[in-house]
Structure 1
Amino acid sequence: MSNRYENLFRSLHERGEGAFVPFLMLGDPTPEDALDIVRTVVAAGADALELGVPFSDPVADGPTIQASHLRALAAGATVDSALEQVRAIRSEFPELPIGMLIYGNVAFTRGFNRFYSEFAEAGADSILLPDVPVREGAPFIAAAEKAGIDPIFIAPARASASTLEGVAHHSRGYIYAISRDGVTGTERESETLGLEEVVANIKRFDGPPVLLGFGISAPEHVRDAVAAGAEGAITGSAITKIIDRHVSRETAAESTQIEGNSSRAPMDPALHKELAEFVTRMKAATRK
Protein backbone atom coordinates (compact mmCIF):
# COMPACT_ATOMS: atom_id res chain seq x y z
CA MET A 1 0.00 0.00 0.00
CA SER A 2 1.21 3.52 -0.74
CA ASN A 3 1.14 6.18 1.96
CA ARG A 4 0.05 9.04 -0.31
CA TYR A 5 -3.40 9.40 1.26
CA GLU A 6 -1.95 9.28 4.75
CA ASN A 7 0.63 11.92 3.87
CA LEU A 8 -2.00 14.11 2.23
CA PHE A 9 -4.45 14.08 5.12
CA ARG A 10 -1.66 14.70 7.63
CA SER A 11 -0.41 17.70 5.65
CA LEU A 12 -3.91 19.11 5.22
CA HIS A 13 -4.63 18.70 8.94
CA GLU A 14 -1.48 20.62 9.80
CA ARG A 15 -2.57 23.45 7.49
CA GLY A 16 -6.15 23.48 8.74
CA GLU A 17 -7.60 22.47 5.40
CA GLY A 18 -9.87 19.81 4.02
CA ALA A 19 -9.26 17.92 0.78
CA PHE A 20 -10.85 18.86 -2.50
CA VAL A 21 -10.93 15.93 -4.93
CA PRO A 22 -12.27 16.34 -8.47
CA PHE A 23 -13.63 13.39 -10.42
CA LEU A 24 -12.56 13.25 -14.07
CA MET A 25 -13.30 10.71 -16.78
CA LEU A 26 -10.22 9.31 -18.49
CA GLY A 27 -10.35 9.61 -22.27
CA ASP A 28 -13.00 12.36 -22.25
CA PRO A 29 -13.20 13.75 -24.83
CA THR A 30 -9.80 12.36 -25.90
CA PRO A 31 -6.84 10.98 -23.92
CA GLU A 32 -4.80 14.07 -24.73
CA ASP A 33 -7.56 16.44 -23.63
CA ALA A 34 -8.12 14.44 -20.45
CA LEU A 35 -4.45 14.77 -19.48
CA ASP A 36 -4.55 18.51 -20.11
CA ILE A 37 -7.64 18.74 -17.90
CA VAL A 38 -5.82 16.85 -15.13
CA ARG A 39 -2.95 19.33 -15.35
CA THR A 40 -5.39 22.23 -15.08
CA VAL A 41 -7.22 20.97 -11.99
CA VAL A 42 -4.00 20.01 -10.19
CA ALA A 43 -2.47 23.42 -10.88
CA ALA A 44 -5.67 25.03 -9.56
CA GLY A 45 -5.38 23.23 -6.20
CA ALA A 46 -6.84 19.73 -6.44
CA ASP A 47 -5.46 17.68 -3.54
CA ALA A 48 -6.04 14.28 -5.13
CA LEU A 49 -7.84 12.81 -8.13
CA GLU A 50 -10.67 10.38 -8.62
CA LEU A 51 -10.48 9.05 -12.17
CA GLY A 52 -13.20 7.20 -14.02
CA VAL A 53 -12.60 4.38 -16.48
CA PRO A 54 -15.21 4.50 -19.27
CA PHE A 55 -17.85 1.79 -19.05
CA SER A 56 -20.95 1.09 -21.12
CA ASP A 57 -23.45 0.77 -18.25
CA PRO A 58 -22.51 3.21 -15.46
CA VAL A 59 -25.47 2.56 -13.16
CA ALA A 60 -24.34 4.82 -10.29
CA ASP A 61 -23.96 7.86 -12.52
CA GLY A 62 -26.51 10.38 -13.66
CA PRO A 63 -26.89 11.72 -17.22
CA THR A 64 -23.92 14.10 -17.15
CA ILE A 65 -21.29 11.56 -16.17
CA GLN A 66 -22.99 8.87 -18.27
CA ALA A 67 -22.41 11.15 -21.26
CA SER A 68 -18.70 11.39 -20.42
CA HIS A 69 -18.45 7.59 -20.35
CA LEU A 70 -20.10 7.39 -23.76
CA ARG A 71 -18.02 10.20 -25.27
CA ALA A 72 -14.81 8.49 -24.22
CA LEU A 73 -15.98 5.11 -25.50
CA ALA A 74 -17.02 6.64 -28.82
CA ALA A 75 -13.50 8.07 -29.14
CA GLY A 76 -12.05 4.57 -28.70
CA ALA A 77 -11.31 4.48 -24.96
CA THR A 78 -10.32 1.11 -23.50
CA VAL A 79 -9.08 -0.14 -20.15
CA ASP A 80 -5.59 -0.35 -21.65
CA SER A 81 -5.71 3.29 -22.77
CA ALA A 82 -6.93 4.26 -19.29
CA LEU A 83 -3.93 2.49 -17.78
CA GLU A 84 -1.62 4.43 -20.09
CA GLN A 85 -3.18 7.70 -18.92
CA VAL A 86 -2.75 6.72 -15.27
CA ARG A 87 0.93 6.00 -15.95
CA ALA A 88 1.34 9.41 -17.54
CA ILE A 89 -0.38 11.17 -14.64
CA ARG A 90 1.67 9.28 -12.06
CA SER A 91 4.89 10.13 -13.89
CA GLU A 92 4.00 13.82 -13.89
CA PHE A 93 2.62 13.95 -10.33
CA PRO A 94 4.55 11.42 -8.25
CA GLU A 95 3.09 12.39 -4.84
CA LEU A 96 -0.52 13.02 -5.88
CA PRO A 97 -3.03 10.46 -4.55
CA ILE A 98 -4.80 8.84 -7.50
CA GLY A 99 -8.06 7.01 -6.90
CA MET A 100 -9.93 5.06 -9.54
CA LEU A 101 -13.68 4.65 -9.93
CA ILE A 102 -14.33 1.56 -12.03
CA TYR A 103 -17.37 -0.67 -12.44
CA GLY A 104 -17.11 -4.22 -11.16
CA ASN A 105 -17.56 -5.89 -14.53
CA VAL A 106 -14.13 -4.61 -15.58
CA ALA A 107 -12.55 -6.45 -12.65
CA PHE A 108 -14.51 -9.63 -13.46
CA THR A 109 -13.57 -9.49 -17.14
CA ARG A 110 -9.84 -8.97 -16.61
CA GLY A 111 -9.59 -11.25 -13.58
CA PHE A 112 -9.24 -9.83 -10.08
CA ASN A 113 -5.50 -10.31 -9.63
CA ARG A 114 -4.61 -8.98 -13.07
CA PHE A 115 -7.02 -6.05 -12.70
CA TYR A 116 -5.62 -4.81 -9.39
CA SER A 117 -1.99 -5.47 -10.23
CA GLU A 118 -2.26 -3.57 -13.52
CA PHE A 119 -3.65 -0.46 -11.86
CA ALA A 120 -1.11 -0.71 -9.05
CA GLU A 121 1.70 -0.91 -11.59
CA ALA A 122 0.28 2.09 -13.44
CA GLY A 123 0.41 4.16 -10.26
CA ALA A 124 -3.11 4.12 -8.82
CA ASP A 125 -3.45 4.26 -5.04
CA SER A 126 -7.05 3.15 -4.61
CA ILE A 127 -9.98 1.63 -6.47
CA LEU A 128 -13.67 2.18 -5.76
CA LEU A 129 -16.16 -0.17 -7.42
CA PRO A 130 -19.48 1.66 -7.04
CA ASP A 131 -21.61 -1.38 -7.89
CA VAL A 132 -19.88 -3.70 -5.40
CA PRO A 133 -21.20 -3.28 -1.82
CA VAL A 134 -18.94 -4.12 1.08
CA ARG A 135 -20.95 -7.25 1.92
CA GLU A 136 -19.84 -8.71 -1.44
CA GLY A 137 -16.35 -7.28 -1.33
CA ALA A 138 -14.22 -10.10 0.08
CA PRO A 139 -12.60 -11.30 -3.18
CA PHE A 140 -12.02 -7.73 -4.33
CA ILE A 141 -10.47 -6.76 -1.00
CA ALA A 142 -8.14 -9.76 -1.06
CA ALA A 143 -6.94 -9.02 -4.61
CA ALA A 144 -6.57 -5.29 -3.89
CA GLU A 145 -4.50 -5.84 -0.78
CA LYS A 146 -2.33 -8.40 -2.56
CA ALA A 147 -1.58 -5.83 -5.26
CA GLY A 148 -1.01 -2.97 -2.82
CA ILE A 149 -4.17 -1.07 -3.79
CA ASP A 150 -6.42 0.60 -1.21
CA PRO A 151 -9.99 -0.74 -1.53
CA ILE A 152 -12.57 2.03 -1.15
CA PHE A 153 -16.21 1.43 -0.26
CA ILE A 154 -19.25 3.67 -0.34
CA ALA A 155 -20.99 4.53 2.92
CA PRO A 156 -24.65 5.12 1.96
CA ALA A 157 -26.53 7.93 3.66
CA ARG A 158 -28.97 5.68 5.52
CA ALA A 159 -26.94 2.52 5.79
CA SER A 160 -27.33 0.07 8.65
CA ALA A 161 -24.79 -0.03 11.45
CA SER A 162 -23.45 -3.35 10.18
CA THR A 163 -22.87 -1.89 6.71
CA LEU A 164 -21.09 1.18 8.06
CA GLU A 165 -18.97 -0.98 10.32
CA GLY A 166 -17.95 -3.09 7.32
CA VAL A 167 -17.17 -0.01 5.23
CA ALA A 168 -15.04 1.47 8.01
CA HIS A 169 -13.22 -1.79 8.63
CA HIS A 170 -12.44 -2.68 5.01
CA SER A 171 -11.85 0.72 3.39
CA ARG A 172 -8.28 1.99 3.15
CA GLY A 173 -7.14 5.48 2.20
CA TYR A 174 -10.55 7.07 2.69
CA ILE A 175 -14.26 6.31 2.93
CA TYR A 176 -16.55 7.63 0.18
CA ALA A 177 -19.61 8.88 2.05
CA ILE A 178 -22.76 10.00 0.26
CA SER A 179 -25.29 12.39 1.73
CA ARG A 180 -28.34 11.04 -0.09
CA ASP A 181 -29.61 8.10 -2.10
CA GLY A 182 -29.77 8.05 -5.89
CA VAL A 183 -27.28 8.68 -8.68
CA THR A 184 -24.88 11.53 -9.32
CA GLY A 185 -25.79 14.74 -11.10
CA THR A 186 -29.55 14.75 -10.57
CA GLU A 187 -31.79 17.70 -9.71
CA ARG A 188 -31.16 17.00 -6.02
CA GLU A 189 -27.41 17.51 -6.38
CA SER A 190 -27.45 20.70 -4.31
CA GLU A 191 -28.82 19.04 -1.18
CA THR A 192 -26.28 18.89 1.63
CA LEU A 193 -28.63 18.79 4.60
CA GLY A 194 -28.02 16.49 7.53
CA LEU A 195 -24.34 16.01 6.80
CA GLU A 196 -23.35 16.04 10.47
CA GLU A 197 -25.49 12.97 11.08
CA VAL A 198 -24.09 11.19 8.01
CA VAL A 199 -20.48 11.81 9.05
CA ALA A 200 -21.09 11.04 12.72
CA ASN A 201 -22.74 7.71 11.87
CA ILE A 202 -19.69 6.66 9.86
CA LYS A 203 -17.13 7.89 12.37
CA ARG A 204 -18.68 5.77 15.13
CA PHE A 205 -16.72 2.89 13.63
CA ASP A 206 -13.41 4.72 13.20
CA GLY A 207 -11.87 3.81 9.85
CA PRO A 208 -9.97 6.08 7.45
CA PRO A 209 -10.85 9.74 6.68
CA VAL A 210 -14.30 10.50 5.30
CA LEU A 211 -14.76 12.29 1.97
CA LEU A 212 -18.27 13.35 1.03
CA GLY A 213 -19.50 12.97 -2.52
CA PHE A 214 -22.85 13.27 -4.35
CA GLY A 215 -24.37 16.74 -4.12
CA ILE A 216 -21.10 18.67 -3.95
CA SER A 217 -21.38 21.28 -6.69
CA ALA A 218 -20.60 24.66 -5.10
CA PRO A 219 -18.17 26.11 -2.54
CA GLU A 220 -20.85 26.27 0.15
CA HIS A 221 -21.33 22.50 -0.18
CA VAL A 222 -17.61 21.97 0.43
CA ARG A 223 -17.74 24.26 3.47
CA ASP A 224 -20.76 22.34 4.77
CA ALA A 225 -18.97 19.01 4.30
CA VAL A 226 -15.87 20.14 6.19
CA ALA A 227 -17.95 21.80 8.91
CA ALA A 228 -19.85 18.53 9.33
CA GLY A 229 -16.60 16.75 10.20
CA ALA A 230 -15.63 15.25 6.85
CA GLU A 231 -11.99 15.47 5.83
CA GLY A 232 -12.96 16.78 2.43
CA ALA A 233 -15.26 16.52 -0.55
CA ILE A 234 -15.39 14.96 -4.01
CA THR A 235 -17.00 16.74 -6.96
CA GLY A 236 -17.85 15.02 -10.23
CA SER A 237 -20.94 16.15 -12.07
CA ALA A 238 -20.31 19.88 -11.67
CA ILE A 239 -16.87 19.53 -13.26
CA THR A 240 -18.14 17.19 -15.96
CA LYS A 241 -20.86 19.72 -16.85
CA ILE A 242 -18.19 22.34 -17.52
CA ILE A 243 -16.35 19.94 -19.82
CA ASP A 244 -19.61 18.89 -21.48
CA ARG A 245 -20.54 22.48 -22.35
CA HIS A 246 -17.24 23.15 -24.05
CA VAL A 247 -17.13 19.79 -25.84
CA SER A 248 -20.65 20.38 -27.13
CA ARG A 249 -19.66 23.80 -28.48
CA GLU A 250 -16.58 22.38 -30.17
CA THR A 251 -18.58 19.52 -31.68
CA ALA A 252 -21.05 22.01 -33.12
CA ALA A 253 -18.21 24.11 -34.51
CA GLU A 254 -16.51 21.07 -36.04
CA SER A 255 -19.72 20.07 -37.79
CA THR A 256 -19.56 23.29 -39.81
CA GLN A 257 -16.02 22.64 -41.06
CA ILE A 258 -15.43 21.62 -44.64
CA GLU A 259 -15.11 17.85 -45.00
CA GLY A 260 -11.48 16.83 -45.01
CA ASN A 261 -10.49 19.64 -42.65
CA SER A 262 -11.95 18.30 -39.41
CA SER A 263 -8.81 17.35 -37.46
CA ARG A 264 -9.29 18.07 -33.78
CA ALA A 265 -7.60 21.21 -32.50
CA PRO A 266 -6.61 21.71 -28.86
CA MET A 267 -9.60 22.37 -26.66
CA ASP A 268 -10.76 25.94 -26.18
CA PRO A 269 -8.62 27.72 -23.56
CA ALA A 270 -11.90 28.98 -22.08
CA LEU A 271 -12.53 25.45 -20.79
CA HIS A 272 -9.30 25.42 -18.82
CA LYS A 273 -9.94 28.92 -17.50
CA GLU A 274 -13.41 27.97 -16.27
CA LEU A 275 -12.17 24.72 -14.75
CA ALA A 276 -9.29 26.46 -12.97
CA GLU A 277 -11.58 29.12 -11.53
CA PHE A 278 -14.06 26.50 -10.33
CA VAL A 279 -11.44 24.30 -8.68
CA THR A 280 -9.77 27.30 -7.06
CA ARG A 281 -13.08 28.34 -5.48
CA MET A 282 -13.87 24.82 -4.31
CA LYS A 283 -10.41 24.36 -2.81
CA ALA A 284 -10.62 27.71 -1.02
CA ALA A 285 -13.80 26.51 0.67
CA THR A 286 -11.88 23.68 2.38
CA ARG A 287 -9.86 26.12 4.47
CA LYS A 288 -11.23 26.16 7.99
Structure 2
Amino acid sequence: MTTRIDQRFADLKNEGRAGLVTFTMAGDPDTKTSLAILKELPKAGADVIELGVPFTDPMADGPAIQAGGLRALNAGQNMVKTLGMVRAFRKGDDTTPIVLMGYYNPIYIYGVERFLKDAKDAGVDGLIVVDLPPEEDEELCLPALRAGVNFIRLATPTTDDNRLPAVLANTSGFVYYVSITGITGSAAPNVGKVTEAVTRIKRHTKLPVAVGFGVRTAKQAQALAASAEAVVVGSALVNAVKDSLDKKGKATAKTVKAVTRLVNELASGVRAAKKSTKKNT
Protein backbone atom coordinates (compact mmCIF):
# COMPACT_ATOMS: atom_id res chain seq x y z
CA MET A 1 0.00 0.00 0.00
CA THR A 2 1.40 3.39 -1.05
CA THR A 3 0.68 6.09 1.52
CA ARG A 4 0.66 9.84 1.04
CA ILE A 5 4.08 9.88 2.71
CA ASP A 6 5.49 7.35 0.25
CA GLN A 7 4.03 9.31 -2.65
CA ARG A 8 5.35 12.65 -1.42
CA PHE A 9 8.93 11.39 -1.04
CA ALA A 10 8.72 9.73 -4.46
CA ASP A 11 7.61 13.08 -5.91
CA LEU A 12 10.45 14.90 -4.12
CA LYS A 13 12.96 12.42 -5.52
CA ASN A 14 11.60 13.00 -9.02
CA GLU A 15 11.94 16.75 -8.48
CA GLY A 16 15.53 16.26 -7.33
CA ARG A 17 15.11 18.14 -4.08
CA ALA A 18 14.69 17.66 -0.36
CA GLY A 19 11.42 18.26 1.42
CA LEU A 20 10.45 20.48 4.34
CA VAL A 21 8.69 18.79 7.26
CA THR A 22 7.01 21.27 9.60
CA PHE A 23 5.91 20.61 13.17
CA THR A 24 3.13 22.53 14.88
CA MET A 25 1.30 21.72 18.11
CA ALA A 26 -2.36 20.86 17.65
CA GLY A 27 -4.49 23.39 19.53
CA ASP A 28 -1.73 25.96 20.06
CA PRO A 29 -2.77 28.60 21.03
CA ASP A 30 -6.35 27.44 20.36
CA THR A 31 -8.03 24.96 18.02
CA LYS A 32 -9.33 27.56 15.54
CA THR A 33 -5.98 29.32 15.10
CA SER A 34 -4.11 26.03 15.00
CA LEU A 35 -6.35 24.77 12.20
CA ALA A 36 -5.85 28.02 10.29
CA ILE A 37 -2.07 27.50 10.55
CA LEU A 38 -2.41 23.87 9.48
CA LYS A 39 -4.34 24.83 6.35
CA GLU A 40 -1.74 27.43 5.33
CA LEU A 41 1.37 25.27 5.81
CA PRO A 42 1.33 23.55 2.37
CA LYS A 43 0.87 26.89 0.60
CA ALA A 44 3.81 28.29 2.55
CA GLY A 45 6.06 25.43 1.44
CA ALA A 46 5.58 22.51 3.83
CA ASP A 47 5.87 19.14 2.07
CA VAL A 48 4.97 17.00 5.09
CA ILE A 49 3.20 18.13 8.27
CA GLU A 50 3.90 16.82 11.75
CA LEU A 51 1.04 17.66 14.09
CA GLY A 52 1.92 17.46 17.74
CA VAL A 53 -0.51 15.77 20.13
CA PRO A 54 -0.29 17.71 23.42
CA PHE A 55 0.59 15.69 26.51
CA THR A 56 1.05 16.60 30.16
CA ASP A 57 4.49 14.96 30.49
CA PRO A 58 6.45 15.58 27.26
CA MET A 59 9.83 14.32 28.46
CA ALA A 60 11.67 14.52 25.13
CA ASP A 61 10.51 18.04 24.28
CA GLY A 62 12.38 21.24 24.90
CA PRO A 63 10.92 24.35 26.56
CA ALA A 64 9.33 25.73 23.37
CA ILE A 65 7.32 22.64 22.49
CA GLN A 66 6.49 21.95 26.15
CA ALA A 67 5.06 25.46 26.39
CA GLY A 68 3.12 24.99 23.15
CA GLY A 69 1.62 21.78 24.46
CA LEU A 70 0.66 23.45 27.71
CA ARG A 71 -1.03 26.33 25.85
CA ALA A 72 -2.97 23.77 23.81
CA LEU A 73 -4.03 21.75 26.87
CA ASN A 74 -5.09 24.91 28.69
CA ALA A 75 -7.22 25.82 25.66
CA GLY A 76 -8.98 22.44 25.89
CA GLN A 77 -7.21 20.49 23.15
CA ASN A 78 -7.61 16.72 23.23
CA MET A 79 -7.31 13.76 20.86
CA VAL A 80 -10.85 14.09 19.54
CA LYS A 81 -10.25 17.73 18.60
CA THR A 82 -6.86 16.89 17.09
CA LEU A 83 -8.36 14.23 14.82
CA GLY A 84 -11.14 16.69 14.02
CA MET A 85 -8.51 19.18 12.84
CA VAL A 86 -7.05 16.58 10.49
CA ARG A 87 -10.51 15.80 9.17
CA ALA A 88 -11.17 19.51 8.55
CA PHE A 89 -7.78 19.90 6.84
CA ARG A 90 -8.53 16.98 4.52
CA LYS A 91 -11.63 18.72 3.16
CA GLY A 92 -9.31 21.09 1.30
CA ASP A 93 -6.12 19.05 0.93
CA ASP A 94 -6.04 15.36 0.09
CA THR A 95 -2.35 15.11 -0.83
CA THR A 96 -0.18 16.66 1.91
CA PRO A 97 0.92 13.94 4.37
CA ILE A 98 0.07 14.42 8.04
CA VAL A 99 2.02 12.67 10.78
CA LEU A 100 0.80 12.75 14.38
CA MET A 101 3.74 13.13 16.77
CA GLY A 102 3.63 12.62 20.50
CA TYR A 103 3.53 10.07 23.28
CA TYR A 104 1.80 6.74 23.76
CA ASN A 105 -0.31 7.64 26.79
CA PRO A 106 -3.01 9.68 24.95
CA ILE A 107 -3.31 6.91 22.34
CA TYR A 108 -3.49 4.19 25.01
CA ILE A 109 -6.23 6.06 26.87
CA TYR A 110 -8.15 6.62 23.64
CA GLY A 111 -7.81 2.91 22.82
CA VAL A 112 -5.37 1.65 20.19
CA GLU A 113 -7.91 -0.02 17.89
CA ARG A 114 -10.33 2.88 18.08
CA PHE A 115 -7.51 5.39 17.63
CA LEU A 116 -6.11 3.73 14.51
CA LYS A 117 -9.55 3.49 12.91
CA ASP A 118 -10.42 7.12 13.72
CA ALA A 119 -6.96 8.39 12.72
CA LYS A 120 -7.07 6.57 9.39
CA ASP A 121 -10.62 7.76 8.72
CA ALA A 122 -9.62 11.35 9.55
CA GLY A 123 -6.73 11.27 7.08
CA VAL A 124 -3.68 10.66 9.28
CA ASP A 125 -0.82 9.08 7.33
CA GLY A 126 1.82 8.35 9.93
CA LEU A 127 2.75 8.25 13.60
CA ILE A 128 5.84 9.23 15.56
CA VAL A 129 5.54 7.99 19.14
CA VAL A 130 8.73 8.92 20.93
CA ASP A 131 8.36 6.72 24.01
CA LEU A 132 7.66 3.37 22.31
CA PRO A 133 10.93 1.50 21.59
CA PRO A 134 11.15 -1.33 19.02
CA GLU A 135 10.82 -3.88 21.82
CA GLU A 136 7.19 -2.75 22.20
CA ASP A 137 6.19 -2.90 18.52
CA GLU A 138 3.19 -5.11 19.31
CA GLU A 139 1.63 -2.24 21.29
CA LEU A 140 1.09 0.16 18.39
CA CYS A 141 3.67 -0.10 15.61
CA LEU A 142 2.53 -3.40 14.10
CA PRO A 143 -1.21 -2.63 14.46
CA ALA A 144 -0.56 0.75 12.78
CA LEU A 145 1.24 -0.87 9.86
CA ARG A 146 -1.63 -3.35 9.44
CA ALA A 147 -4.04 -0.41 9.38
CA GLY A 148 -2.06 1.27 6.58
CA VAL A 149 -0.54 3.98 8.79
CA ASN A 150 3.21 4.57 8.55
CA PHE A 151 5.16 4.20 11.79
CA ILE A 152 8.17 6.50 11.78
CA ARG A 153 11.03 5.81 14.11
CA LEU A 154 13.66 8.14 15.54
CA ALA A 155 17.38 7.44 15.18
CA THR A 156 19.82 9.50 17.26
CA PRO A 157 23.57 10.16 17.40
CA THR A 158 23.77 7.36 19.99
CA THR A 159 22.00 4.80 17.76
CA ASP A 160 24.97 2.69 16.69
CA ASP A 161 25.21 0.07 13.92
CA ASN A 162 24.24 -2.68 16.36
CA ARG A 163 21.03 -0.88 17.36
CA LEU A 164 20.02 0.47 13.95
CA PRO A 165 18.56 -2.78 12.54
CA ALA A 166 16.13 -3.02 15.47
CA VAL A 167 15.15 0.63 15.07
CA LEU A 168 14.60 0.23 11.33
CA ALA A 169 12.94 -3.20 11.36
CA ASN A 170 9.31 -2.02 11.29
CA THR A 171 9.88 1.62 10.39
CA SER A 172 8.03 2.92 7.34
CA GLY A 173 7.46 6.22 5.56
CA PHE A 174 10.78 7.77 6.54
CA VAL A 175 13.42 7.68 9.25
CA TYR A 176 13.62 10.72 11.51
CA TYR A 177 17.25 11.41 12.42
CA VAL A 178 17.58 13.46 15.60
CA SER A 179 20.62 15.56 14.75
CA ILE A 180 21.63 16.44 18.32
CA THR A 181 21.73 14.64 21.64
CA GLY A 182 19.20 16.15 24.04
CA ILE A 183 15.79 17.77 23.94
CA THR A 184 14.16 19.56 21.03
CA GLY A 185 15.35 23.03 20.13
CA SER A 186 18.31 22.95 22.51
CA ALA A 187 21.23 23.41 20.09
CA ALA A 188 22.16 23.79 16.45
CA PRO A 189 23.12 20.66 14.48
CA ASN A 190 26.67 20.07 13.23
CA VAL A 191 26.28 19.68 9.47
CA GLY A 192 29.39 17.54 9.01
CA LYS A 193 28.40 15.07 11.70
CA VAL A 194 24.82 14.94 10.40
CA THR A 195 26.02 14.19 6.88
CA GLU A 196 28.14 11.29 8.20
CA ALA A 197 25.22 9.96 10.24
CA VAL A 198 22.76 10.16 7.35
CA THR A 199 25.22 8.31 5.11
CA ARG A 200 25.59 5.62 7.76
CA ILE A 201 21.82 5.21 8.19
CA LYS A 202 21.37 4.89 4.43
CA ARG A 203 23.67 1.89 4.45
CA HIS A 204 20.99 0.13 6.51
CA THR A 205 17.79 1.29 4.78
CA LYS A 206 16.31 2.54 1.53
CA LEU A 207 13.82 4.71 3.39
CA PRO A 208 14.11 8.50 3.08
CA VAL A 209 15.93 10.18 5.97
CA ALA A 210 14.58 13.40 7.49
CA VAL A 211 16.82 15.43 9.80
CA GLY A 212 15.46 17.52 12.66
CA PHE A 213 16.09 19.09 16.09
CA GLY A 214 17.73 22.50 16.37
CA VAL A 215 16.98 23.79 12.85
CA ARG A 216 15.96 27.43 13.05
CA THR A 217 17.06 29.22 9.89
CA ALA A 218 16.85 28.87 6.12
CA LYS A 219 20.66 28.66 5.98
CA GLN A 220 20.71 25.69 8.38
CA ALA A 221 17.89 24.02 6.49
CA GLN A 222 19.72 24.47 3.19
CA ALA A 223 22.93 22.93 4.57
CA LEU A 224 21.14 19.85 5.98
CA ALA A 225 19.02 19.38 2.86
CA ALA A 226 22.13 18.62 0.82
CA SER A 227 22.46 15.15 2.37
CA ALA A 228 18.99 14.28 3.71
CA GLU A 229 15.69 13.70 1.93
CA ALA A 230 13.95 16.18 4.23
CA VAL A 231 14.57 18.72 6.97
CA VAL A 232 12.28 18.92 10.00
CA VAL A 233 11.60 22.21 11.80
CA GLY A 234 9.54 22.38 14.99
CA SER A 235 10.65 24.52 17.92
CA ALA A 236 11.28 27.56 15.71
CA LEU A 237 7.70 27.42 14.42
CA VAL A 238 6.24 26.92 17.90
CA ASN A 239 8.28 29.93 19.05
CA ALA A 240 6.86 31.94 16.14
CA VAL A 241 3.39 31.21 17.52
CA LYS A 242 4.44 32.21 21.04
CA ASP A 243 6.05 35.47 19.92
CA SER A 244 2.88 36.51 18.07
CA LEU A 245 0.53 36.18 21.04
CA ASP A 246 -0.86 39.05 23.09
CA LYS A 247 -0.08 39.63 26.76
CA LYS A 248 -2.80 37.19 27.77
CA GLY A 249 -1.38 34.46 25.55
CA LYS A 250 -4.14 34.74 22.98
CA ALA A 251 -3.79 34.64 19.20
CA THR A 252 -3.49 37.91 17.30
CA ALA A 253 -3.83 38.91 13.65
CA LYS A 254 -0.08 38.21 13.36
CA THR A 255 -0.13 34.58 14.55
CA VAL A 256 -0.83 32.66 11.35
CA LYS A 257 1.36 34.98 9.27
CA ALA A 258 4.27 34.65 11.70
CA VAL A 259 4.35 30.89 11.14
CA THR A 260 3.77 30.92 7.39
CA ARG A 261 6.43 33.61 6.87
CA LEU A 262 9.04 31.46 8.59
CA VAL A 263 7.90 28.32 6.74
CA ASN A 264 8.28 30.21 3.46
CA GLU A 265 11.84 31.20 4.36
CA LEU A 266 12.75 27.67 5.43
CA ALA A 267 11.22 26.18 2.27
CA SER A 268 13.31 28.57 0.16
CA GLY A 269 16.41 27.36 1.97
CA VAL A 270 15.56 23.70 1.47
CA ARG A 271 14.78 24.22 -2.20
CA ALA A 272 18.07 26.06 -2.73
CA ALA A 273 20.12 23.08 -1.53
CA LYS A 274 22.29 21.26 -4.01
CA LYS A 275 21.60 17.57 -3.65
CA SER A 276 24.58 15.28 -3.30
CA THR A 277 25.13 13.19 -6.43
CA LYS A 278 26.68 10.42 -4.37
CA LYS A 279 24.49 7.32 -4.38
CA ASN A 280 24.03 5.47 -1.14
CA THR A 281 23.29 1.77 -1.31
Q: How many residues align?
A: 272
Partner residue, 2:277? none
Partner residue, 2:248? 251
From the CA coordinates, give the structure whose radius of gyration is larger: 1
Q: 1:168, CA displacement in angstroms?
A: 2.5
Residue identity in the other structure for 2:217:
A
Q: Secondary structure at the match of 2:139?
A: helix
Partner residue, 2:222? 223
Partner residue, 2:236? 238
Residues 55-96 of structure 1: per-residue CA shift (max 9 Å, x gap): 101111011100111111111111111111111112221111
- Give distance in 1, aligned partners of 2:136 and 2:219: 35
Q: Is the 8 A contact 2:244 2:258 kept in 1?
A: no
Q: Is the 8 A contact 2:244 2:255 kept in 1?
A: yes
Partner residue, 1:272? 256
- Give distance in 1, aligned partners of 2:267 and 2:194: 19
Deviates more, 1:213-222 or 1:104-113: 104-113
Q: Secondary structure at the match of 2:106?
A: helix
Q: Is the 8 A contact 2:241 2:258 kept in 1?
A: no
- Give distance in 2, aligned partners of 1:7 and 1:190: 28
Q: Secondary structure at the match of 1:92?
A: coil
Q: Is the 8 A contact 1:169 1:207 kept in 2?
A: no
Partner residue, 2:207? 208
Q: 1:234, CA displacement in angstroms?
A: 0.7
Partner residue, 2:124? 124
Residue identity in the other structure for 2:204:
F
Q: State yes or no: 1:142 paired with 2:123.
A: no
List aligned pairs for 1:96-107, cutoff 5 A.
Answer: 96-107=96-107
Shift of the 93–170 alpha-carbon distance from structure 1 to 2, 3 Å rule, reads same
Higher fraction of helix: 1
Q: Secondary structure at the match of 1:286?
A: helix
Residue identity in the other structure for 1:245:
D
Partner residue, 2:10? 10
Residue identity in the other structure for 1:15:
E
Q: Secondary structure at the match of 1:177?
A: strand
Residue identity in the other structure for 2:219:
E
- Give distance in 2, aligned partners of 1:139 and 1:127: 13
Q: State yes or no: 1:81 paired with 2:78.
A: no
- Give distance in 2, aligned partners of 1:92 and 1:162: 44
TM-score, structure 1 normalization: 0.89
Q: Secondary structure at the match of 1:251?
A: coil
Q: Secondary structure at the match of 1:128?
A: strand
- Give distance in 2, aligned partners of 1:204 and 1:190: 21
- Give distance in 2, aligned partners of 1:269 and 1:57: 30
Deviates more, 1:128-137 or 1:107-116: 107-116
Q: 1:138, CA displacement in angstroms?
A: 3.2
- Give distance in 2, aligned partners of 1:191 and 1:220: 13
CA RMSD of aligned residues (A): 1.7
- Give distance in 2, aligned partners of 1:129 and 1:175: 13
Q: 1:190, CA displacement in angstroms?
A: 5.2
Q: Is the 8 A contact 1:4 1:125 kept in 2?
A: yes
Q: 1:152, CA displacement in angstroms?
A: 0.9
Residue identity in the other structure for 2:183:
V
